[in-house]
Amino acid sequence: MRIDILTLFPEMFKGAFDESMIKIAREKGLVNINIHNLRKWTDDRHRTADDKPYGGGPGMVMKVGPVDKSLAELREKGIKGVVPTAVLLTPQGKQFDQPIAKALSSRGHIIFICGHYEGYDERIRSLVDMEISIGDYILTCGEIPAMVLCDAVIRLIPGVLGDSECLVDESFENGILEYPQYTRPAEYKDMRVPDVLLGGDPKRIREWQRTQALVRTRQRRSDLLDRNSDKEELRA
């Protein structure tokens, strides 16, 4: 997979992509991440990527020209035979979730556009394939959401995680939260690991995990059960 990120603050990505799973994925050649400074595609000596909004109002608005030119170049120089998916990171986009992460993980080439300032020139929206938000709150920039999406998507690429089974039982993967997890010691300050997990019976353990996952979801995120009520396994 190839990921291109268009940003006004490329330095923000240095640490995030040089550690842990993303670093391993890059070293394995499973993902090629390229960070681009949008100012490269500006056409004035001050490298201006934003301007005051027509009609007045606070803040500055990202200009359409640099985004249009950058997308055109990246699409032309992308992977042969692969149509890039351009994603605009914006609080007005569709809220990001695991199904979207799965869909993006199957794309060969993704271009993330990081917003800043007060917002985008509305014409930028006509240049992209998707608009995505990571939640109903305000951030100062789109760089952090881009990191979130990269992490969520890259870990789903086959070969990135050592144990592919760890993807199966994670929260949101099956429409519910993950069951409680424990490790050694078996008892700590009067808090004991459930006996079923110490008994070594795989069938009983799986039944317990399934029950606990449903209980936890009902207690903490009942909306997930409502949203996935058509799935027979969640009605058990």
The structural domains of the chain, with segments of one domain joined by +, span 2-154, 168-234
pLDDT tens per residue across span 139-187: 989 999 999 999 999 999 999 997 654 555 565 777 899 999 999 999 9
Q: Using CA atoms, how far apart are residues 219 and 22, in angstroms rounded to an integer?
A: 33
Q: What's the mean pLDDT when you consider all of the chain?
A: 92
Mind giving me the DSSP string for 105-155? HT-SEEEEEE--TTEE-GGGGGG-SEEEES-SS--S-SHHHHHHHHHHHHT
More confident residue, 229 or 25: 25
Assigned CATH topology for domain 2-154? Alpha/beta knot (3.40.1280)
Q: Can you list the positions of beta strands (E) in 12-117?
A: 32-37, 50-51, 61-62, 85-95, 109-114
Under the banding of pLDDT at 50, 70 and 90, the label for residue 14 is confident
Whether residue 87 is predicted with pLDDT greater than 90 in this model: the reply is: yes
13-27, 30-44, 155-169: segment of lowest average pLDDT: 155-169
pLDDT at 164: 58
Within 8 A by CB and 6+ apart from 174, the residues are 168, 233
Superfamily of domain 168-234: tRNA(m1g37)methyltransferase, domain 2 (1.10.1270.20)
Overall average pLDDT of the 58-73 stretch: 96
- Residues recorded for the chain: 236
Residue 113 has pLDDT above 60, yes or no: yes
